[in-house]
Amino acid sequence: MITLQDCQALDAKDTLRALRAHFELPDGVIYLDGNSLGAQPKAAAARALQVVQQEWGKGLIRSWNDAGWISLPTRLGDQFAPWIGVDAGELVFTDTTSINLYKVLTAAARIAREDAPTRKKIISERSNFPTDLYIAQSVCQEYGLELVLLEPEEIADALTEEVAISMLTHVNYRTGAMLDMAAITAAAHAKGILCVWDLCHSAGAVPVDLKGADADFAVGCSYKYLNGGPGSPAFVWAHPRLINRFWQPLSGWFGHAAPFQFTPDYQPAPGINRYLCGTQPLVSMSLLQCGLDVFTQTEKYGGMRALRRKSLALTDLFIALVEQRCAGYGLGLATPREHSQRGSQVCLTREEGLGVDGKDSGAYAIIQALIARGVVGDFRKGDGAKHLDILRFGFTPLYVSFEDVWCAVEHLRQVLESEKWKRPEFNQINAVT
């Protein structure tokens, strides 16, 4: 039996525990939703004031040069590049994940059309984050391709010579399952398939080595584990061997080789700068710096290796405590137990029919009852076929403690045992789940 004292002892030994002081977290809140919107770095409020009062207020237009606004997408990209195994000068922060995915998928479709015009398929996972599938559907329409949706165990056999592009998300948002990027990329390349990886639930959460895996393109967002703030710009990377082969489709002036020549004809910038499009949200992008700075701070504690070790210890503990203390309440586990297949979140399942009046699974109401107690996770609707809804808990090793895990599971146990989740106020569905 694991006890509260055991968890406190783990905290006492935790070499990363000082990092929590870099975050503004309200008292009484156990925040297990950093996989959806990361917590606020303490430095962000002062940085926001500086950008608004000084850089915008006093510097005005001069801040494009004096405050370095113009180079911020590349400077942030250079700072973050080593965390996903790429080199400085290869990565930019800009636009959203959806938009960046459109850019790289289109570039990949154009390359495939030139190199392998008979290939007509893009493969992805059926349970990929829907925006990825929606963007792929648009690219398929434009390029006469077909989107083929797979279960994870079907991916290996689906890598055939009919496939132009593999578009996969490294860590699944709904299950927390992590794919083997190096093995899938190698198998895909052996069949001549281009590989696009979405790192939304990986960046800052798990070790990633894009160049070690020889990936072709990657995108990911910064408001989840990178703690960039709501709507902070996403990143985009293309392998140097491919970067200059095509324009990306959103050929705006920031991606021009010489934007301030104001020439009528588009000339793409060499390298990743061609993936920029237009003027960026500088206030938001400036705050992202505070999130990335925390990661730079962690280097003295062992960087991603230490973060990963703690993340796995947190998710292991959560799974063990849920099984020990919440057995018999209809919860299942969607997240793999195998470390090499797990991201930084744990997803519990509940079957449809277990909710109030047998109508739904009750998962949404359980999450609402937990949030009312200050334990913030979230709910994701089941995929229909399996009739399993998801209770999702993200574990950010930067600011979640082992005692937090204990307390969260104790709240979950109390919510389930008391059946408080059945109250009407917890069964009202909000616009954002």
Active site residues: 129, 198, 223-224, 392
* Closer CB to ligand PLP, 96 or 414, in the complex: 96
Q: From the CB of 104, what's the least distance to ligand PLP, in Å?
A: 13
- Per CB under 6 A, which region of 42-50, 125-133, 278-286, 315-323 contacts ligand PLP? 125-133
Q: Are 216 and 196 in contact (CB under 8 A)?
A: yes
Q: From the CB of 265, what's the least distance to ligand PLP, in Å?
A: 30
Inter-axis angle of helices 363-372 and 402-418, nearest 10: 120
Q: Which of 106, 127, 169, 284 binds ligand PLP (CB under 6 A)?
A: 169
Inter-axis angle of helices 303-325 and 4-13, nearest 10: 180
C-alpha–C-alpha distance, residues 334 and 363, integer Å: 14
Question: Hey, what are 121's tokens?
Answer: 């398929």
Contact residues for 406 (Cβ-Cβ < 8 A; gap 6+): 2, 4, 7, 317, 321
| Alpha carbon distances (Å) from 101 to 17, 105, 367, 391 | 35, 6, 31, 27
- Per CB under 6 A, which region of 84-92, 193-201, 283-291, 406-414 contacts ligand PLP? 193-201
Please tell me whether residue 31 binds ligand PLP under the rule CB under 6 A.
no
Please tell me whether residue 55 binds ligand PLP under the rule CB under 6 A.
no
Question: Hey, what are 291's tokens?
Answer: 């999130």
* Closer CB to ligand PLP, 144 or 230, in the complex: 230
Q: From the CB of 314, what's the least distance to ligand PLP, in Å?
A: 20
Q: Which of 50, 75, 89, 96 binds ligand PLP (CB under 6 A)?
A: 96
DSSP state of 53: I
Please tell me whether residue 132 binds ligand PLP under the rule CB under 6 A.
yes
Size of the site for ligand PLP (CB under 6 A): 13
Question: Hey, what are 47's tokens?
Answer: 């940085």
Site for ligand PLP in 196-255 (CB under 6 A): 198, 200-201, 221, 234
* Closer CB to ligand PLP, 37 or 416, in the complex: 37
* Closer CB to ligand PLP, 394 or 397, in the complex: 394
- Per CB under 6 A, which region of 19-27, 145-153, 194-202, 372-380 contacts ligand PLP? 194-202
Contact residues for 427 (Cβ-Cβ < 8 A; gap 6+): 355, 356, 364, 365, 368
Please tell me whether residue 125 binds ligand PLP under the rule CB under 6 A.
no
Please tell me whether residue 344 binds ligand PLP under the rule CB under 6 A.
no
* Closer CB to ligand PLP, 22 or 201, in the complex: 201
C-alpha–C-alpha distance, residues 342 and 319, integer Å: 12
Q: Are 127 and 150 in contact (CB under 8 A)?
A: no
* Closer CB to ligand PLP, 96 or 251, in the complex: 96
Q: From the CB of 169, what's the least distance to ligand PLP, in Å?
A: 4
Q: Are 225 and 204 in contact (CB under 8 A)?
A: yes
Please tell me whether residue 97 binds ligand PLP under the rule CB under 6 A.
yes
Q: Where are the alpha helices (DSSP H) in 172-302?
A: 181-190, 210-213, 240-243, 282-298
* SS3 category, 114: helix
Q: Which of 17, 56, 131, 249 binds ligand PLP (CB under 6 A)?
A: 131
C-alpha–C-alpha distance, residues 422 and 107, integer Å: 50
Please tell me whether residue 360 binds ligand PLP under the rule CB under 6 A.
no
Q: Are 231 and 281 in contact (CB under 8 A)?
A: yes
- Per CB under 6 A, which region of 38-46, 93-101, 156-164, 384-392 contacts ligand PLP? 93-101
- Residue 185 CA, chain-centre distance (Å), reads 19
Q: From the CB of 205, what's the least distance to ligand PLP, in Å?
A: 11
Q: Which residues partner with 123 through β-bridges?
A: 148, 166
Footprint of ligand PLP on this chain (CB under 6 A)? 96-98, 129, 131-132, 169, 173, 198, 200-201, 221, 234
